[in-house]
Amino acid sequence: MYFSTAHLAAASAALAQAAITIPVQVGKGGALTFVPNDIKANVGDSIEFSFFPKNHSVTQSSFADPCHPLAGGFFSTFIPTNSSESSETFTIVVNDTKPIWIYCAQTVKSHCQSGMVASINAPATGNTLAAFTLKASNATDSTSPPNTVPLGGILAVKGKGTGVTTSIATTVTTTVTRDGSTYATTYATAYGTTYTTDATQQVSTSGVSGSSPTKSSGAGSTSVSTTAQPGAATALTANGAMVGAMMLGALAML
């Protein structure tokens, strides 16, 4: 019995490149900031924004025109909260490595002009986050998309997940042809995986086409039909299963 080096390498690469969720705090402690604000992410990573008092948004702009929405860009809507942290999060997925520019469109105290901006994969020279922040400080009054539902991401209510780490045991049966003879071989194998037991409730899904659920104007309240959507941690299930399946495939190569 032998293992395919190519399949084992592919399984290792899949594990190393598994997408992650990067948390970003919006306005924590009353500061007009995104933390972190200079975000580095790989293709496939998710950026999960958590909101703090009093009322902020996550809005995409261009480098050339900060504090104003980018046509077709993402928008969380305004998330008002009087608690220490909103129960809602807004999550986007990074589709490429091009720089992404973000601001809070709150006009009270001119959040964007006061430095409440962020970037994803901003370059180290030229159009840097520092340069974007300076341009924002001189921008005209902030504006927002006219939409009352999120765009380009998912606005969700946090669940109460329980992380589970377990070992999955399975039996592999494969058919092998060697020296003109075909025979079956069976062997046991096991691998570890981590997953979350609950699913976050999706309250608004992104996109400008098709019908969209509505979000009421009350602070933190919603009026929607909810559907179960995997939370950030649930992605570990998919990634773990994918890598596990690849490992099983590698083990099956005799």
| Measured distance CA(151)–CA(153) in Å, rounded | 6
By C-alpha distance, which of 97, 94, 129 is closest to 22?
94
Q: Identify the pLDDT of residue 121.
A: 98
Most confident of 124-138, 195-209, 219-233: 124-138
Domains of the chain (ranges plus CATH)?
19-158 (2.60.40.420)
- What is the enclosing helix (H) or strand (E) of 9? helix 5-16
pLDDT given at position 157? 87
Residue-by-residue DSSP string for 127-153: S-HHHHHHHHHTPPSP---S-SS-BSS
Q: Does residue 13 surpass a pLDDT of 60? A: no
35-63 pLDDT tens trace: 999 999 999 999 999 999 999 999 999 99
What is the per-residue DSSP string for 203-251? EE---SSS------SSTT------EEE--TTTHHHHHHHHHHHHHHHHH
Q: Are the C-beta atoms of 101 and 77 separated by less than 8 Å? A: no
Reply yes or no on whether the pLDDT at 12 is more than 60. Answer: no
| Residue range 10-32: mean pLDDT, rounded | 81
| pLDDT tens-digit readout, 142-189 | 999 987 789 999 999 876 444 455 667 778 787 877 777 888 877 777
Q: Tokens 């395919």 identify what position?
A: 4
d(CA 138, CA 68): 12
Torsion sign (Cα): 129, 130, 131, 133: positive
Environment class of residue 225 by beta-carbon count within 10 Å: exposed (0-12), middle (13-18) or buried (19+)?
exposed
CA distance 208 to 202: 17
Q: What is the average per-residue pLDDT within 127-132?
A: 98
Alpha helices in 88-128 (DSSP H): none
